[in-house]
């Protein structure tokens, strides 16, 4: 007779193996062109930009996945995808944003980046404190075990 724990283990094993057999296939893809607008991402380097919500359906391209993969350009590196701050500012001005709007967005982005930095530093301090506390408790436990084992011989 099986107890509940062995039943749940068997069920988990079956569900895990059935999940491994599942797969997803794509036959086509769609490439949409979105506009660029002034963003709000935390950054210390120039104005933040982001994709606009709207796209032009007339510029949407549809491809068979295999054809696209065969003819696509090589993937860009991370450094190739970075837009220099001066170019972002130029593009935003071309889109009609004023210098004051861009400056305000840059100030807000810097403020948010500083707050994020403070949060990361605070989390790191908390983790270090937690680690120190755990190490301290471990020393206490080891010390109490030594005292209790040595006192048993007295």
**Residue 139: pLDDT over 90:** no
Longest dimension (CA), the chain: 90
pTM over 0.85: no
- Tokens, residue 20: 């491994």
pLDDT band at 60 (very low <50, low <70, confident <90, very high): very high
CA 30 to CA 51: how far, in whole Å?
Answer: 17
Radius of gyration of the chain (CA): 29
Task: Give tens-digit pLDDT for 61-100.
Answer: 999 999 999 999 899 999 999 999 999 999 999 999 999 9
Task: State yes or no: pLDDT of 59 exceeds 80.
Answer: yes
Q: Quickly tell me which residue has 């769609």 as its tokens.
A: 30
Q: Which residues contact 51 (CB under 8 A, 6 or more apart)?
A: 34, 35, 36, 37
């Amino acid at each position: 007779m099986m107890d509940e724990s062995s039943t749940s283990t068997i069920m988990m094993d079956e569900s895990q193996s059935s999940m491994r057999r599942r797969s997803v296939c794509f036959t086509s893809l769609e490439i949409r062109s979105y506009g660029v607008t002034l963003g709000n991402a935390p950054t210390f380097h120039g104005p933040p930009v982001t994709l606009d919500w709207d796209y032009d359906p007339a510029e949407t391209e549809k491809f068979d996945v295999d054809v696209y993969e065969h003819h696509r350009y090589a993937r860009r590196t991370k450094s190739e995808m970075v837009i220099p701050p001066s170019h972002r500012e130029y593009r935003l001005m071309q889109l009609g944003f004023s210098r004051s709007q861009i400056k305000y967005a840059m100030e807000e982005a810097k403020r948010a980046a500083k707050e994020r930095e403070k949060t990361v530093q605070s989390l790191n301090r908390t983790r270090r404190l937690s680690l120190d506390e755990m190490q301290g408790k471990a020393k206490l436990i080891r010390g109490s075990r030594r005292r209790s084992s040595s006192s048993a011989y007295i």
